Amino acid sequence: MEFLANCGTQIGFLGAVLSVALACAGSGRGVGLVGEAAAGVLSEDPNKFSQCLILQIIPGTQGLYGLVIWFFAMMKMGFFAGAMPNLTIAQGLGFLAAGLCMGIGGMITAVAQGRCAAAGVALIAKRPEEMSKGLIMAIMVEFYAILCLLASFLMINSMGVV
Amino acid sequence: MAIVKMKRLRLIALDQDRAALLSRLQHLGCVEIGEAEGKLVDPEWAALLRRDSSSSSEVKTQLAGVQHALEALRKYAPTKKSLFQKRSLMSEQAFLDADALASSLQIANTIGETLAELTRLNTRENRLLNTKAGLLPWTSLHYPLNQLSTEHVRVTLGVCPAVVSLEALTQALSEAAPLSALTPLSQDRDQHYLLLMYHLSESEAVDEVLKSFAFSNTQFKDLTGTAADEIQRIDRELADIATQREAAEAHIASFAENRSALQHSFDRLTQDLSRETACEHLLTNGTIVFLEGWAAATGLDRLEQELTGFSCAYALEDPTLEETPPTLLKNPKWMSCINMVTEMYSLPKYHGGIDPNPLIFGFYIIFFGFMFADIGYGIILMAISLLITNKYHPKNTMGYMFHLGIYLGFSAMIFGFVTGSFFGDAIPVFSSTFLGKDIALPYLLNPLSNPMTVLVFAICMGIVQLIFGQCVYIYMKFRDGDPWEGILKVVPWWILFAGIAIMALKGTAAGIWVGVVALILTQGRHKKGILGKLMGGVASLYDVTAWLSDVLSYSRLMALMLSGSVIASVMNILGALPGNIIVFMVVFVLGHVFNIGVNIIGTYVHAARLQYLEFFGKFYEEGGIPFRPLSYRTKFIDITEEET
């Protein structure tokens, strides 16, 4: 019972970890999807490497956003100050909620963006001059990851240094 | 500042003037030659005229030759690759010089022959390598490969699958044909390589056994020496081929200095090809040619002046409403870069459309700057754009892009002063970490501490743009002689908005009800019957949600502004955390390059999207066909303007 009453810090950490872990898992999957499609195109025409690479890194940003939120949450919790932070359960749940926002949003948008960018790779295979349009289609998805990043960030920002 | 007026051009000229006429039209670059084939459906036309022929296939062959030569040079004499082609300048006369073309074609021809030689060498090499691979298992045999048998003894070489047991084979042979001997020479994963000798009198018995063991003969018809000799000979030939290939490659590389001449002829032939292709659209009867197309009003004077030099008859007519002339937008040079944004969406229709460039120019730049707001980022964007524009003079979309980049960078810089961000919060973070002082840039509005105010600003800008879009709609309806349509469609909404504003300020809902009634009375005006009109009006109230989503869409202005500064400040904090200035510099550079990269694409797209979906939705008639005149379109060379 005593542990349950004092696990606020751990719940906060869980939020931070879920933010980076879920977003990175999604980004990994998304980048992988594009990579598979790109390798197929490159087997026909290796000159399209740089174009494919640009499309491949696009779904990678969600993982980075997850890391940003992780970092920011850990900083707000006072983790980098040296001592182990001591949060109440309510505070911990706040960080958990904020972390989940980025984590879930990042994971799902990254996979969706990966699919979209993989289709963009197919576009490059046929009409390399239309790459910018494929890029734009994929970037449209990015906006929703940015909204998640923003929501998470504003929540953590308003929590005040513990 | 408008859609250029088009005239339908119909022209009849002498067949002998055809080439000269097309050259002059290409020089003018203001006539799009259309498909006149439709005319041939009419039997009266078809009786008189037929499709013109052209020598486009010949030009295509030459062009392909030059292209191959350029590719070969890229492969065998590579130059430092730069992202942007620096174009060389050339007068039109020099560009069209026949001698230069002939000598380039000569060079392209030589390179083409050498390339063919390389292909031949490769084929031969492959054949030799195959033969060599076939010989390798037999190297332990020290007899000439094609004269093994004697008068009474048959000596054969052969293989059988690796799964066959050699012992069983030997056993079976010695039982069926005692006068035989089997010597295994070598073996690999798939096969045994065997030497078999037997007396001719036993050949039938031997054949019987061999069949059951899946033995197959191997023959070397053209090889006279031993396997080892033959391999040596092949190796010599391969070495010879390698030297020949090097020589051929060096020969191609020696033409490196002719690269620009080849590029010139590439551009030249591309122009010839577009002329020949235009020729295929002409109709002829052998003495005259008939040409139909669109002439841009901006070039009419020069066109008519040019045509006086030919014996020809022509008519220029305004397009009827049934025709769909191509769309060409004419804007001052400083504004034409916004074409890039318009072209990515769709050009306006010729009839009833409006040139969107002046309308979105300001909005686009302001929205971009608002989202990208940072002094440092803005300066970088502006500097790179200025540098590339001045150094490489890129053309078309690339040129528009970097020209626009100058404005966008400037706008981002101005908004950066408003929000007081220079690479995010780099100055406060750096000074407090490394200098021990708190220095901060002055600001009017800090997005991180005051996001609600930013959101209100963003929404207000959106409302301004949407209302402006409606005003444009009213203008278009007035212009097209249907003013009531414009007023009835738009003004009731304004009454509703005014009512909402009064409600928000004073708390009285009366204005809203007036607006609702106005909408119900007007928005069903195209429906039939009183009931239909009323139902249409009531249904239009549902559009309130569309308006709501349009307005809320502008919250992305705030979202992207904030996310840019959030990532920037996280990069700064991350860099400053170890307290080491070198680490800070590395993280700073990498982090901000990443942030600029992600943000610039996102901001570009979202600023454009607000124009396409929200703004254009209020008035735009898209679907124009781009104007593609017969003109010089070059890749490597800029033709300098001069009158001849």
- Of all residues in chain B, the percent with pLDDT exceeding 70 is 98
- Of all residues in chain B, the percent with pLDDT exceeding 90 is 23
Tokens of B189: 């994963």
B571 close to B424: Cβ distance less than 8 angstroms:
yes
Interface of A with B in 96-155 (CB under 8 A): 132-133, 135-136, 139-140, 142-143, 146-147, 149-150, 153-154
Split at pLDDT 50, 70, 90, the class of B443 is confident
Which pLDDT score is estimated for A81? 74
Task: Classify residue B521 as exposed, middle or buried by CB count within 10 Å of its CB (0-12, 13-18, 19+).
Answer: middle
Split at pLDDT 50, 70, 90, the class of B84 is low
Sign (positive/negative) of CA torsion B581, B583, B586, B591?
Answer: negative
Instruction: Compare A3 and B90 and report the one with higher pLDDT.
Output: B90
Residue B119, strand partner residues = none
Q: Is the pLDDT of residue B10 over 70?
A: yes
Which pLDDT score is estimated for B245? 92
Q: What secondary structure letter does DSSP report for B152?
A: S
What is the mean predicted confidence (pLDDT) over B506-519?
86
E strands, B38-171, are 50-51, 88-91, 153-161
Split at pLDDT 50, 70, 90, the class of A122 is very high
Is B343 an interface residue toward A (CB < 8 Å)? no
How many whole angstroms from its chain centre is CA B255?
Answer: 29
* CA atoms of B31 and B237, how far apart (whole Å): 60
Q: Which of A74, A82, A57, A84 is nearest to A19 (CA)?
A: A74
Q: Which of B492, B502, B503, B504 is nearest to B541 (CA)?
A: B492
How many whole angstroms from its chain centre is CA B413?
Answer: 31
Could you say which of A80, A136, A146 has the minimum Cβ distance to residue B560? A146
B28 close to B248: Cβ distance less than 8 angstroms:
no
What is the mean predicted confidence (pLDDT) over B113-119?
92
What is the mean predicted confidence (pLDDT) over B72-96?
79
**Residue extents of the structural domains in chain B:** 147-219, 336-624
Q: State how far the alpha carbon of B404 is from the alpha carbons of B376, B379, B389, B399, B524, in Å.
A: 18, 14, 10, 8, 43
Half-sphere exposure of B512 (CA within 13 A, CB side): 12
What is the mean predicted confidence (pLDDT) over A60-73?
87
Instruction: Compare B109 and B579 and report the one with higher pLDDT.
Output: B109
Number of A:B CB contacts under 8 A? 45
Residue B624, strand partner residues = B347
CATH fold label, A2-157: Four Helix Bundle (Hemerythrin (Met), subunit A) (1.20.120)
3-state secondary structure (DSSP) of residue B116: helix
Nearest Cα residue in chain B from A151: B559
Q: Are strands B180-187 and B50-51 parallel, antiparallel or unpaired?
A: unpaired
- B121: alpha, beta or left? (left if phi > 0; alpha if psi -120 to 50): alpha
What is chain B's mean pLDDT, rounded?
87
What is the mean predicted confidence (pLDDT) over B163-187?
84
Q: Is the pLDDT of residue B1 over 60?
A: no
Split at pLDDT 50, 70, 90, the class of B333 is confident
Q: Are strands B637-640 and B88-91 parallel, antiparallel or unpaired?
A: parallel
Which pLDDT score is estimated for B82? 65
Closest CA of chain B from A10, distance in Å? 23
Instruction: Compare B35 and A146 and report the one with higher pLDDT.
Output: A146
Contact partners, residue A107, CB within 8 Å, separation at least 6: A22, A23, A25, A26, A62
**Residue A124 phi, psi dihedral angles, 5° rounding:** -60, -35
Split at pLDDT 50, 70, 90, the class of A132 is confident
**Under an 8 A CB cutoff, do A139 and B602 touch?**
yes
CATH number of this structure's domain B147-219, picked from the four choices 3.50.50.60, 3.30.70.2750, 3.40.50.300, 3.30.565.10: 3.30.70.2750
**Residue extents of the structural domains in chain A:** 2-157
* CA atoms of B8 and B315, how far apart (whole Å): 8
Could you say which of A80, A140, A150 has the minimum Cβ distance to residue B605? A140
**Under an 8 A CB cutoff, do B577 and A80 touch?**
yes
* CA atoms of B610 and B605, how far apart (whole Å): 9
**Under an 8 A CB cutoff, do B594 and A64 touch?**
yes
Taking the C-alpha atoms of B433, B437, B439 and B445 in order, what is their torsion angle to the nearest 10 degrees? 70
Q: List the end-to-end C-alpha distance of chain A, in Å, as a whole number.
A: 24
Which pLDDT score is estimated for B121? 93
Residue B637, strand partner residues = B88
B411 close to B366: Cβ distance less than 8 angstroms:
yes
* CA atoms of B634 and B644, how far apart (whole Å): 20
CA angle A98, A104, A107 (to 5 degrees): 130
What is the mean predicted confidence (pLDDT) over B117-139?
90
Give kind and range of the element (H or E) at residue B493: helix B483-506
Residue to test with chain A: of B371, B455, B567, B609, most A Cβ within 10 A = B567
**Residue B188 phi, psi dihedral angles, 5° rounding:** -130, -165
* CA atoms of A113 and B274, how far apart (whole Å): 40
Task: Round the CA-based radius of gyration of chain A to a whole number and report it.
Answer: 19
A121 close to A34: Cβ distance less than 8 angstroms:
yes
Is A53 an interface residue toward B (CB < 8 Å)? no
Closest CA of chain A from B218, distance in Å? 37
Which pLDDT score is estimated for B408? 95
Q: State how far the alpha carbon of B517 is from the alpha carbons of B266, B490, B495, B507, B588, in Å.
A: 67, 14, 10, 19, 58
What is the mean predicted confidence (pLDDT) over B316-341?
88
**Residue A33 phi, psi dihedral angles, 5° rounding:** -60, -45
Q: What secondary structure letter does DSSP report for B85?
A: P
Which pLDDT score is estimated for A76? 85
Which pLDDT score is estimated for B451? 79
Give the model confidence (pLDDT) of B592-630 as tens digits. 998 898 888 889 888 998 999 889 988 888 888 888 888
Q: How crowded is residue B370: how many other Cβ atoms within 10 Å of its Cβ?
A: 24
Task: Round the CA-based radius of gyration of chain B to a whole number and report it.
Answer: 39
* CA atoms of B240 and B133, how far apart (whole Å): 18
Is B261 an interface residue toward A (CB < 8 Å)? no
pTM for the complete prediction?
A: 0.78
Interface of A with B in 2-31 (CB under 8 A): none
CA angle B383, B386, B391 (to 5 degrees): 120
Could you say which of B448, B559, B605 has the minimum Cβ distance to residue A136? B605
* CA atoms of B317 and A40, how far apart (whole Å): 53
Task: Classify residue B563 as exposed, middle or buried by CB count within 10 Å of its CB (0-12, 13-18, 19+).
Answer: buried
Which pLDDT score is estimated for A88? 87
Closest CA of chain B from A87, distance in Å? 23
Helices (H) and strands (E) in chain B, counts: 22, 16
Which pLDDT score is estimated for B644? 46
Closest CA of chain A from B258, distance in Å? 25
Q: Is the pLDDT of residue A107 over 50?
A: yes
Listed as own residue / partner, the contacts of A119-126 with beta carbons closer than 8 Å and 24 or more positions apart are A119/A37, A120/A55, A121/A34, A121/A37, A121/A38, A121/A40, A121/A41, A121/A52, A121/A55, A121/A56, A122/A37, A122/A41, A124/A41, A124/A48, A124/A51, A124/A52, A124/A55, A125/A40, A125/A41, A125/A44, A125/A45, A125/A48
Contact partners, residue B104, CB within 8 Å, separation at least 6: B66, B258, B261, B262, B264, B265
B601 contacts in chain A (CB < 8 Å)? 135, 139
Which pLDDT score is estimated for B377? 95
Is B398 an interface residue toward A (CB < 8 Å)? no
* CA atoms of B37 and B292, how far apart (whole Å): 10
* CA atoms of B29 and B632, how far apart (whole Å): 7
3-state secondary structure (DSSP) of residue B327: strand
* CA atoms of B518 and B496, how far apart (whole Å): 8
Q: Which of B130, B157, B148, B135 is nearest to B232 (CA)?
A: B135
* CA atoms of A131 and A115, how far apart (whole Å): 16
Split at pLDDT 50, 70, 90, the class of A1 is low
Nearest Cα residue in chain A from B340: A132
Split at pLDDT 50, 70, 90, the class of B194 is confident
Q: What secondary structure letter does DSSP report for B610?
A: I
